[in-house]
Each structure stands twice: as structure tokens, then as C-alpha cells.
Amino acid sequence: MLTLPRSVRILIGSVPVDMRKSIDGLLAIVRDELQEDAYAGHLYVFVSRRGDRVKILNFDHGGFVLYYKRLERGQFRLPHMDPSSMAIEIDATQLAMLLDGIDYGRVRRPEHWEPLLDPPAARPMDKPPSP
């Protein structure tokens, strides 16, 4: 299970990457092409041309961490990406499904409940007593 705070963004590059690139090569892509701050602690996901390998770059406590996963069979099911965008943002649940090989484009999420921004109208029983 992957647990990340909501403040951590997860960006998937829309262009396949040469998997021979290591930390410095991926860092250059984040900085120059995605125009993101690689030191912000976000996760940057890169997929190989064949779609069977993924590298995730993250800055954590004074150093870079590079995660690598190679599928022995099949390909990662990537989300639909607009060709004009350099990357798309996903959440931690979508990343976990991606790494497990689940095509989350076919998964339907229930609507999440969110509190109303306006305070609810006062109920008659909530009125202060009359003098």
C-alpha cells in the first residue's frame, strides 16, 4: 500500500523516456521539460517506450530516490494523455493501481462526499430561547 500526504503531487510524463537515464538524466527532464521543482518532494513518474518499465523520481531528506519497476509480462495501463501536455497529475490511489497493472481508466469511483461551503440553514430547534 502506498500512503502519501495530499500535498505530494504525482506527475506522469506524457512522453516515453529512455530507461538508461538515471537520477541526473531524469532530473534534467523534470527541470527543463516539465519545468517543475524536483526538490519539492513530489513524485515524477517516467514510462519506457515499450510501456513495461517505470521509474519514479523523488527527493527525500537530502537526496534523490529512484524507484524502478519492470513487468515480466504485459504493459502498464497508462491514463489517457493529451498530446499537447508534458505531464498529467494523478493521485496516490491511481499510482498504486498503475503499479499493480490495473487499468484505472475502466475503474469507476463513487462520488466523494464533501462538506458544504455555506453553513446549513438554522433549524427551528437551534434558535435561542425568546426572552
Instruction: Give, as one character, the DSSP assignment of residue 126.
Output: G
Distances (CA, A) of 112 to 3, 87, 94: 19, 25, 15
pTM: 0.78
Distance CA 21, CA 17 (A): 8
Q: What are the domain boundaries of the chain?
A: 10-107
Spatial neighbors of 17 by CB under 8 A, at least 6 apart, are: 26, 29, 46, 47, 48, 55
Each residue of 78-106: pLDDT tens digit? 887 887 888 999 989 889 989 988 887 77
Walk across the sheet containing 10-13 and list its strands: 63-70, 53-60, 43-47, 10-13, 87-90
Each residue of 11-27: pLDDT tens digit? 999 889 999 999 999 99
CA angle 104, 58, 46 (to 5 degrees): 50
87: which 3 cell numbers?
505531464
